[in-house]
């Protein structure tokens, strides 16, 4: 029976039907798997998260100038919190919109559309005259940030082979690092307005290249476009015989639909989905309440307040380069050591630089420690050590797990809800940092980060499952079982 005949079948019962492939060659050994196209497609699909990295950090290298009044727009520290916060607030409607449209227009078109608010945000930033214009630009850009995170993890999990799904998912974290690197290098050497013009090029590149992405096979199966799904699988896997994988997709989707109609509330009706939501929510808190948002956003200010013996601009570039390197390290070890082990290693290692910086600022600001001048590299060493420890686990693995822990029928809703949680947690993180810094100075702020991190380590140890090498279906089976350390 051909695919065309199957599609016309009144019952469309694919569970026991083998999809024939005209190119199937009997008697030949299965060729060695080739993942080249999957890597290329994953890279293109994460161009939007490069822009997310830019949106997150564009103000960081120029913040000292904006605070000092050396530019036509002058802002205060309190206003800078809103510049960061409105980006995350804008992510809320972006995340919700993705859950509404990605199951109707597809993952590819959703990725393409995220470039438009990014472009608008860049244009507003170029012609901004007041801090209000920055607020508007950040809110609009935040819309695409929320949408991009939600759809990128969904897209990659649906196009990737199980053997390299972890590595491909790291591309989200890697691409953010690329955006951050561009920001700190360009921000250190370009005048502010020129800097804004160069940053505006990136969402335009995103728009052009993502037009050539293929749709995911899973979405095509959802829309009963089985020929399209077969064609996409052949392209992605670089093989002519994809009937087994296509059958599994069709069967899996049919079984999901047979259970009950998919809806947003499926996330809360099923205990396994609730467990996954809890895991992602706590890992998001571990990401943002343990110092990453504050340290990365205000690193230039921290360097200056710590009287670093190296210029703040150079420190920022070194941090961005290390951010880039960490993504490579994580990609090389994620499918070797596993998600849970790396999360624990990352969280434990992150405690050390936080303690180091808390002690340094206490000695500098509250004692007469006469040898403090010999330790002026501590702010740089502390932030770089934090970046490395954070980057090999906490920085990227939560994005991977958000694409792995949920069944495909609720993945769009889960991705959007996770982005909403990330937005809310991020806004709170900025506010908590501002309050802690004002009330308790740097030692108190870093101490607060350490407290949250200790709680996160306990949670990871007891609650986060290992998903290395498992198919999405096998992960669901594992989640239903009692937790094992």
Taking only the tens place, the pLDDT of each residue in 269-288 is 888 889 999 999 999 999 88
> Of 140, 167, 447, 461, which is closest to residue 327 (Cα–Cα)?
167
- What ranges in 105-242 are assigned the alpha helix state H? 107-113, 115-126, 131-159, 165-189, 192-199, 201-210, 217-222, 226-237
143 CB-contact burial (10 Å; exposed 0-12 / middle 13-18 / buried 19+): buried
Residue with tokens 């290298």: 61
The larger pLDDT score, comparing residue 448 to residue 309, is at 448
Query: What's the pLDDT score for residue 31?
Result: 59
For 467, the token pair is: 């998903």
Q: Where are the domains positioned within the chain?
A: 36-213+260-480, 222-259
Tokens linked to 383: 């932030």
| Residue 443 pLDDT | 94
Residues 6+ apart with CB under 8 A from 482: none
pLDDT tens by residue, 356-389: 999 999 999 999 998 999 899 999 899 899 989 9
**What is the C-alpha to C-alpha distance for residues 386 and 366, in angstroms, rounded to an integer?**
23
Which tops the pLDDT comparison, 196 or 320? 196
| Closest of 37, 206, 252, 200 to residue 110, by C-alpha | 206
What tokens appear for 435 in the block? 């309050």
- Does 10 score more than 80 pLDDT? no
Which residues are within 8 A (CB) of 463 and not within 5 positions of it... i.e. 6 or more apart? Answer: 275, 278, 279, 282, 483
- The answer as to CATH 1.10.760.10 being correct for domain 36-213+260-480 is no
CA angle 250, 255, 258 (to 5 degrees): 125
* Spatial distance between the Cα atoms of 146 and 183, rounded to a whole number of angstroms: 20
Q: How many CB atoms lie within 10 A of CB 198?
A: 13
pTM assigned to the model: 0.72
CA angle 263, 264, 269 (to 5 degrees): 90
pLDDT in tens, 96-110: 888 788 889 999 999
Q: Any idea what the Cα angle at residue 207 is, between residues 201 and 208, rounded to 5°?
A: 90
């Amino acid at each position: 029976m051909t695919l065309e005949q199957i599609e016309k079948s009144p019952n469309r019962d694919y569970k026991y039907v083998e999809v024939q492939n005209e190119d199937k060659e009997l008697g030949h050994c299965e060729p060695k798997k080739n993942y080249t196209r999957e890597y290329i497609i994953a890279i293109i699909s994460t161009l939007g998260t490069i822009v997310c990295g830019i949106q997150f950090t564009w103000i960081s290298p120029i913040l000292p100038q904006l605070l000092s009044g050396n530019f036509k727009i002058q802002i205060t520290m309190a206003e800078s919190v809103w510049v960061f916060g409105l980006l995350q607030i804008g992510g809320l409607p972006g995340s919700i919109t993705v859950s509404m449209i990605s199951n109707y227009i597809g993952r590819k078109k959703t990725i393409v559309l995220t470039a438009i608010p990014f472009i608008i945000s860049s244009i507003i930033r170029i012609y901004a005259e007041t801090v209000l214009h920055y607020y508007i630009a950040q809110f609009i850009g935040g819309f695409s940030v929320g949408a991009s995170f939600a759809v990128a993890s969904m897209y990659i999990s649906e196009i990737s082979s199980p053997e390299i799904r972890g590595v491909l998912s790291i591309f989200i974290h890697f691409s953010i690092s690329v955006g951050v690197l561009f920001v700190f290098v360009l921000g250190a050497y370009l005048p502010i307005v020129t800097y804004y013009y160069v940053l505006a090029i990136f969402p335009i590149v995103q728009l052009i290249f993502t037009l050539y992405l293929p749709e995911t096979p899973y979405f095509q199966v959802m829309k009963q476009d089985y020929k399209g799904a077969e064609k996409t699988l052949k392209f992605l896997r670089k093989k002519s015989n994809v009937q087994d994988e296509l059958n599994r997709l069709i069967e899996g989707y049919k079984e999901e639909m047979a259970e009950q109609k998919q809806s947003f509330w499926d996330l809360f009706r099923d205990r396994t989905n609730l467990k996954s939501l809890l895991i992602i929510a706590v890992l998001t808190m571990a990401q943002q309440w343990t110092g990453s948002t504050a340290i990365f956003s205000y690193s230039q200010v921290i360097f200056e307040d710590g009287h670093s013996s190296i210029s703040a601009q150079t420190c920022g570039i070194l941090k961005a380069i290390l951010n880039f390197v960490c993504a490579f390290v994580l990609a090389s070890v994620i499918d070797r050591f596993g998600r849970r082990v790396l999360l624990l290693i990352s969280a434990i290692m992150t405690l050390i630089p936080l303690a180091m910086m808390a002690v340094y600022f206490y000695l500098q600001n509250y004692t007469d420690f006469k040898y403090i001048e010999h330790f002026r590299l501590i702010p740089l060493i502390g932030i770089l050590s934090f970046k490395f420890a954070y980057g090999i686990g906490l920085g990227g693995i939560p994005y991977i797990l958000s694409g792995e822990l949920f069944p495909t029928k609720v993945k769009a809703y889960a991705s959007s809800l996770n982005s909403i949680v990330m937005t809310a947690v991020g806004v709170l993180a900025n506010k908590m940092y501002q309050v802690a810094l004002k009330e308790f100075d740097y030692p108190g702020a870093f101490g607060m980060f350490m407290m949250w991190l200790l709680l996160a380590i306990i949670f990871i140890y007891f609650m986060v499952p290992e998903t290395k090498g498992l198919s999405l279906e096998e992960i669901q089976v594992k989640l239903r079982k009692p937790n094992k350390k």
